[in-house]
């Protein structure tokens, strides 16, 4: 009995070694159908979306995104048999033009045209992907089945009962949603010489406004490119705006802040009235 156990452990280690060599970072476990639907709903998928499922298994997430939500999508899967199976499933579901599958390593995949990323991977794989996900277009939605992304806190988490779940003791699935925030850290200048110096921690920002020699501290958050800032003091003024590359627009004017701001050069921490937007 002991010999059999030792042999089994050695065999498992050999398989694990071979997997690591082949780039298979996560075993194949399917997302149940009702969880797949909930993932796509949580991402808010529409026909305008391009969904990329990282480690797409038998293709169910991309196929459901195409069939039920009218989106187009790409499943990225490293195991050839699973890619072949996914293409057959897409064909059978009548969505093979919009649900494509590529046999490739998810770490070597260009994610640039995704508007939605889905994944059912492992915590450490999510963390390895995190820097690349944060570089995607602001507003790109990411939904992960079960695993989070460390100190990048999700904007929303939902929990679903999954009585048939084969992994873990809890018969639950957790779905986490993030929206890639615009990159705002640094100083922004308005035409009147006001400066807004922003520290950013993922979607959360702290901003110091210097205006006509008065300094005030603001806090807020980014929902993609949309910025919400809450001002100091009892009034707690709320300012909503939008980041568009190197431009920041704060359209509501009742708080008296300048409307148009430009990103200052890296390392520049003060603004002059000459720095015109």
Ligand X SMILES: C[S@@+](CC[C@H](N)C(=O)[O-])C[C@H]1O[C@@H](n2cnc3c(N)ncnc32)[C@H](O)[C@@H]1O
Residues at the contact surface with ligand X, assessed by CB under 6 A: 23-26, 28-31, 53, 55-57, 60-61, 76-79, 82, 105-107, 120, 145
CB of 258 to ligand X, least distance (A): 46
Q: In terms of CB distance, is 78 or 111 closer to ligand X?
A: 78
Rounded Cα distance between 232 and 87, Å, is 55
Q: How far is CA 69 from CA 127, 166, 201, 215, in A?
A: 29, 28, 33, 48
CB of 34 to ligand X, least distance (A): 12
Count other C-beta atoms under 10 Å from residue 192's C-beta. Answer: 15
The torsion region of residue 164 among left (phi > 0), alpha (psi -120 to 50) and beta comes to alpha
Q: In terms of CB distance, is 23 or 245 closer to ligand X?
A: 23
Cross-strand bridge partners of residue 263: 188
Q: In terms of CB distance, is 104 or 268 closer to ligand X?
A: 104
CB of 144 to ligand X, least distance (A): 10
CB of 125 to ligand X, least distance (A): 7
Residue 133 token pair:
């996900």
CB of 77 to ligand X, least distance (A): 5
DSSP 8-state symbol, 106: G
CB of 149 to ligand X, least distance (A): 16
Q: Write phi, then psi, for 220 (nearest 5 degrees).
A: 180, -165
Q: In terms of CB distance, is 49 or 53 closer to ligand X?
A: 53
Burial class (CB in 10 A: 0-12, 13-18, 19+), 156: exposed
| CA 212 from centre of chain | 38
Q: In terms of CB distance, is 31 or 187 closer to ligand X?
A: 31
Say what angle helices 80-92 and 60-69 make with each other, to 10 degrees. 20
Burial class (CB in 10 A: 0-12, 13-18, 19+), 271: buried
Q: In terms of CB distance, is 31 or 140 closer to ligand X?
A: 31
Residue 108 token pair:
């070597």
Q: In terms of CB distance, is 145 or 176 closer to ligand X?
A: 145
CB of 203 to ligand X, least distance (A): 25
Which residue sits closest to ligand X, CB atoms considered? 55
């Amino acid at each position: 009995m002991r010999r059999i156990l030792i042999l089994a452990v050695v065999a498992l280690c050999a398989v694990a070694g071979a997997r690591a060599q082949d780039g298979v970072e996560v075993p194949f476990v399917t997302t149940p159908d009702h969880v797949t639907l909930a993932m796509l709903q949580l991402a808010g998928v529409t026909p305008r979306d391009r969904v990329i499922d990282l480690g797409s298994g038998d293709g169910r997430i991309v196929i459901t995104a195409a069939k039920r939500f009218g989106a187009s999508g790409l499943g990225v899967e490293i195991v050839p048999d699973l890619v072949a199976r996914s293409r057959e499933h897409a064909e059978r579901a009548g969505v093979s033009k919009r649900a494509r599958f590529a046999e490739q390593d998810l770490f070597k995949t260009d994610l640039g045209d995704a508007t939605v990323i889905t994944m059912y991977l492992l915590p450490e794989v999510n963390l390895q992907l995190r820097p690349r996900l944060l570089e995607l277009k602001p507003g790109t939605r990411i939904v992960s089945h079960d695993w989070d992304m460390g100190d990048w806190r999700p904007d929303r988490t939902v929990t679903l009962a999954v009585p048939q779940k084969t992994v873990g003791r809890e018969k639950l699935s957790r779905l986490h949603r993030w929206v890639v925030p615009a990159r705002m850290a640094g100083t922004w200048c308005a035409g009147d010489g006001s400066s807004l110096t922003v520290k950013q921690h993922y979607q959360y920002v702290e901003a110091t406004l210097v205006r006509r020699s008065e300094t005030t501290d603001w806090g807020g958050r980014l929902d993609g490119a949309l910025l919400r800032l809450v001002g100091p003091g009892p009034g707690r003024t709320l300012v909503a705006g939008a980041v568009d590359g190197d431009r920041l627009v704060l359209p509501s004017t009742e708080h008296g802040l300048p409307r148009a701001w430009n990103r200052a050069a890296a390392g520049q921490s003060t603004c002059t009235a000459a720095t015109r937007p």
